């Protein structure tokens, strides 16, 4: 994508299962977010569950994402499947929310309800910042905002077909570290369960395809994201700023030391 889409255009593309690529952010740094938003990604996902920022940091990162030259919309992985957390992220201007630890269809339905205004859901009306670009009428907000359920637990995997069939759910999102642990991995990257992990990913991807919703996955790098998109996932995130900062700094240090010898 060479130019930024509106929230409505992004959400439509997501629901149409078009391929989208995003970047994951953990840092409380709107300057970094502003730069990342200009790289060309379709979305930036700000991690309020494990990220290193509070509400003000989330708000500032979303503001930075919407500045001139941005190609990305702002998404938020909320702290929990909670009406207040989801509402605050949306009121701050998130185009969509990624909801963690979804175990069953009821959890998914609760997440959808938290994103939609009455009578379709339970979201409280108060789009203090988001009304400047999303909505503000409830019907427009429903069209322009997305809700994604994370598949990362043993129960979530076991119930993935019914989760994907939840009315109003726009897509699912695989949390690979937790999912690998859930299927018996000793660590979040345990290679001994790779076959079972790949089988789980296939099941998740096919469940989303059958339900006609988006299927996304978290990735450590761009090459892994390209592989998952080629397999049939419809959106993929490259993660994450704090990790990549350390990696690139380390590589430059090693290069500098090698050249000095």
SS (H, E, C) the chain: CCCCCCHHHHHHHHHCCCCEEEEEECCCCHHHHHHHCCCCCCEEEEECCCCCCCHHHHHHHHHHHCCCCCCCEEEEECCCCCHHHHHHHHHCCCCEEEECCCCCHHHHHHHHHHHCCCCCCCCCCCCCCHHHCCCCCHHHHHHHCEEEEEECCHHHHHCHHHHHCCCCCCEEEECHHHHHHHCCCCCCCCHHHHHHHHHHHHHHHHHHHHHCCEEEEEECCHHHHHHHHHHCCCEEEECCHHHHHHHHHHHHHHHHHHHHC
SS (H, E, C) 155-200: HHHHCHHHHHCCCCCCEEEECHHHHHHHCCCCCCCCHHHHHHHHHH
Q: Kindly report the length of the chain.
A: 261
Cβ atoms of residues 149 and 107 within 8 Å: yes
Catalytic residue among 50, 142, 218, 244: 50
Euclidean distance between CA atoms 245 and 261, whole angstroms: 25
50 is catalytic: yes
Active site residue ranges? 50
């Amino acid at each position: 994508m060479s130019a930024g889409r509106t929230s409505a255009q992004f959400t439509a593309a997501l629901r149409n299962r078009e391929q989208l690529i995003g970047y994951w952010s953990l840092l409380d740094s709107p300057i970094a977010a502003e730069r990342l938003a200009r790289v060309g990604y379709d979305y930036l996902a700000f991690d309020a569950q494990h990220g290193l920022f509070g509400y003000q940091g989330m708000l500032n990162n979303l503001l930075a994402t919407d500045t001139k030259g941005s190609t990305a919309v702002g998404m938020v992985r909320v702290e929990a499947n909670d009406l207040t957390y989801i509402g605050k992220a949306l009121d701050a201007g998130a185009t969509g929310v990624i909801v963690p630890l979804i175990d069953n269809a009821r959890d998914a339905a609760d997440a959808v309800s938290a994103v939609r205004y009455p009578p379709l859901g339970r979201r409280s009306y108060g789009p203090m910042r988001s009304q400047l670009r999303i909505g503000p009428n409830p019907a427009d907000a429903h069209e322009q905002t997305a809700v994604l359920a994370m598949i990362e637990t043993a129960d979530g995997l076991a119930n993935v077909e019914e989760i994907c069939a939840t009315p109003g759910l726009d897509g699912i999102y695989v949390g690979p570290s937790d999912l690998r642990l859930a299927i018996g991995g000793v660590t979040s990257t345990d290679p001994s369960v790779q076959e079972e992990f790949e089988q789980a990913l296939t099941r998740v991807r096919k469940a989303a395809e059958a339900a006609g919703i988006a299927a996304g996955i978290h990735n450590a790098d761009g090459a892994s994201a390209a592989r998952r998109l080629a397999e049939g996932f419809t959106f993929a995130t490259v993660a994450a700023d704090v990790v990549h900062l350390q990696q690139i700094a380390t590589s430059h240090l090693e290069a500098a030391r090698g050249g000095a010898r």
